A = this chain, B = another copy of it.
Amino acid sequence: MDSLFTPISHVGEFGLIDRMKAVLGSGTGNAALIASIGDDAAVYRVDDDTAHVITTDALVEGVHFDRSFMPWPHLGAKAISVNVSDVAAMNAVARYAVVSIGLPRNMSVEMVESLYVGMRDACARYGIDLVGGDTTASPQVVLSVTVVGEVELSRLVFRRGARPGDLVCVTGDVGGAYAGLQALLEQRRSIQEMGDSYTPDLDPYRYVIKRQLTPEARVDVIADWAKRGVRPRALVDVSDGVASEVHHLCRASGCGARIRGAALPIDPETRFVADEQMQDVDTYALFGGEDYELLFALDPGDEHLLDPTTFTVIGAFTEASEGVTLVTPEGPIVPLQPSGFVHFTDPGADQEEDPDA
């Protein structure tokens, strides 16, 4: 490894975050700061009972989305949703958003207005105010959104906090967003191959394409938990895939986990796409990413307090020494790798933890 130029792909996104933490050190010692880099959002106290959380996430053209199949209003909405999802992952309620937008010359004022409309409508659905914006020229579209949320200190949930014996739970279904991406890519291949003679039929993929283009943060679940007075022990949102997020909870909590593949909640449309693509649907569900569901650790004694239609138990946390394992639908128990959607990989590499692969 060249010590003067270490490619970013050699350490990956999480390696960069670790280096950032190392460089930043302990900061100012501000007593109001409760949590910093390393969870879904940072947390700082604003009064005796209340904390604010803050998170930022960017969508970059050519990296996170393709203009040819991402309508502008959907893109605007998604940029808001992925950040609101990070706020939800602290068990907090989103309040304010600011957005920094990079705009290339090939965008029109009308396209920018469509982006704004998408952001406005998403903000309205989540009950938040878009209070600030910076627009700048840029070679491609960049949407960098920051969201501030609010939470009672007593209701805060971190990634740490899971204990052996806790249930591993996930809301909604998983793998759909990835299936939607596959469906869109397949349509594009068909258009490229057949040209004008091809008539797209997206009807069989309606749900999964919606999962890919307009994911919704699960603020409904957060509100329901508050109403029921239930608080999970640990919480993360599923942006990088179930397997990666289980590893995040385990690493932060000092636990292992055993996931039952057969228990993964998968929509029939997701199965249909995987079958069409002759791929394993469990791979979609475990490594697909971008579902923006909530993955959480639940005290088994609290299970009866939750609405059973909102979540699925997919396994249990264990002692750290047992590692993170998957009980495959066929029976054997295998190590569950964390690799989900990975930025900065070398082409062909698919293991963030094994960068030289």
A residues near B (Cβ < 8 Å) are: 3-11, 13, 15-17, 19-20, 23-25, 27-28, 30, 32-33, 36-37, 41-42, 44, 46-47, 50, 52, 54-58, 60, 62-64, 95-96, 98-100, 102-103, 105, 107-110, 112-113, 116-117, 120, 123-124, 127-140, 142, 144, 146, 148, 343-344
Are A132 and B46 interface neighbours, CB within 8 A? no
Q: Which 8 A-B pairs have the closest CB atoms?
A: A42-B131, A144-B144, A146-B146, A6-B109, A23-B116, A27-B129, A5-B108, A58-B100
Which B residues are in CB contact (< 8 Å) with A42? 96, 98, 131-132
Number of copies: 2
Which listed residue (B50, B100, B107, B132) contacts A36, Cβ 8 A? B132
Q: Name A32's closest neighbour in chain B (CB-CB).
A: B95
Which B residues are in CB contact (< 8 Å) with A132? 36-37, 41-42, 54-56
Are A129 and B36 interface neighbours, CB within 8 A? yes
Main secondary structure of the interface of A (DSSP, over half): mixed
CB distance from A114 to the nearest CB of B (A): 9
Which B residues are in CB contact (< 8 Å) with A128? 28
CA distance A55 to B17 in the complex (A): 23
- With A23-B116, A56-B133, A120-B25 known as contacts, the answer to whether A44 contacts B8 (CB < 8 A) is no
CB distance from A209 to the nearest CB of B (A): 23
Are A54 and B17 interface neighbours, CB within 8 A? no
CA distance A95 to B31 in the complex (A): 12
CA distance A41 to B98 in the complex (A): 10
9 contacts between A and B (CB under 8 A): A8-B105, A17-B133, A27-B131, A37-B133, A56-B144, A58-B100, A58-B102, A137-B343, A148-B148
Count chain B CB atoms within 10 A of each CB in A9, A95, A99, A144 and give the residue with the most.
A144
Which listed residue (B3, B44, B46, B139) contacts A139, Cβ 8 A? B139
- With A23-B116, A36-B132, A133-B56 known as contacts, the answer to whether A96 contacts B63 (CB < 8 A) is no
Are A8 and B107 interface neighbours, CB within 8 A? yes
Are B120 and A24 interface neighbours, CB within 8 A? yes
Are B60 and A138 interface neighbours, CB within 8 A? yes
Which B residues are in CB contact (< 8 Å) with A46? 46-47, 50, 52
Q: Name A39's closest neighbour in chain B (CB-CB).
A: B132
Q: Name A36's closest neighbour in chain B (CB-CB).
A: B131
A36-B129, A54-B132, A148-B148 known, 18 other contacts, Cβ within 8 Å = A5-B110, A6-B110, A7-B109, A9-B105, A19-B109, A19-B112, A23-B113, A24-B120, A28-B123, A28-B129, A30-B95, A36-B132, A42-B131, A46-B50, A54-B146, A56-B146, A57-B134, A100-B144
